[in-house]
Chains A and B, each alone.
Chain A
């Protein structure tokens, strides 16, 4: 069974750094793009970008380019989303998802990030 297990909820202050994780299992992790999707409170889905674990090729949405960094560690089949300096506007639920063809066929449960002073 394909599974994506995300790290838990985080509460951070503005200016702090954060890395959240997404561990894939049940499939060949290196061979499928992993996407990240933001959902702000009460709002819709926003595509942030994707990373290909096989060679770490990344594609970012223009809205998120320079704001976050995607990375992977194939040895532990885990993808990461990193912020170097959080803002209050980064408060949201973040999903990782496996891209299968042209859609996202498996999703993590989401990681809630709260940024507040």
Chain B
């Protein structure tokens, strides 16, 4: 299975909204409700911010939301804040295995 496709970088000004895409196939992203998103701040371990496409874990800001259209899942961060800077990875769980996207670097201008 190939890695999921994410843009290398996305940037925005404080207060703006940004969207990160994650493109796979009908055999992974498009076929199962098992897409998750992970935030990795510099020097830190990843942290899940969205799972099962749209569910936000307890304690994660409501500014984070997930969606999917066809074989592309998306993570939207609204009201962008400096603390949102870091790398974001999508993951798709299929048949006991997980595929990660290549990662997207989010920069707050």
Contact = CB atoms under 8 A, between A and B. Distances in A.
Interface of A: 35, 37, 44-47, 50, 59, 61, 95, 97, 101-105, 107-110
Majority SS at the chain A contact face: strand
Contacts of B24: none
Contacts of A45: 38, 40, 46, 89, 91, 100, 103
B27 to A, nearest CB: 15
Interface in B77-93: 87, 89, 91, 93
B48 interface: yes
Interface of B: 3, 32, 34, 36, 38, 40, 45-48, 51-52, 57, 87, 89, 91, 93, 96-103
Given A103-B93, A107-B47, 13 more contacts: A37-B100, A44-B89, A44-B103, A45-B103, A47-B91, A50-B96, A102-B32, A104-B36, A104-B46, A104-B98, A105-B48, A105-B57, A108-B45
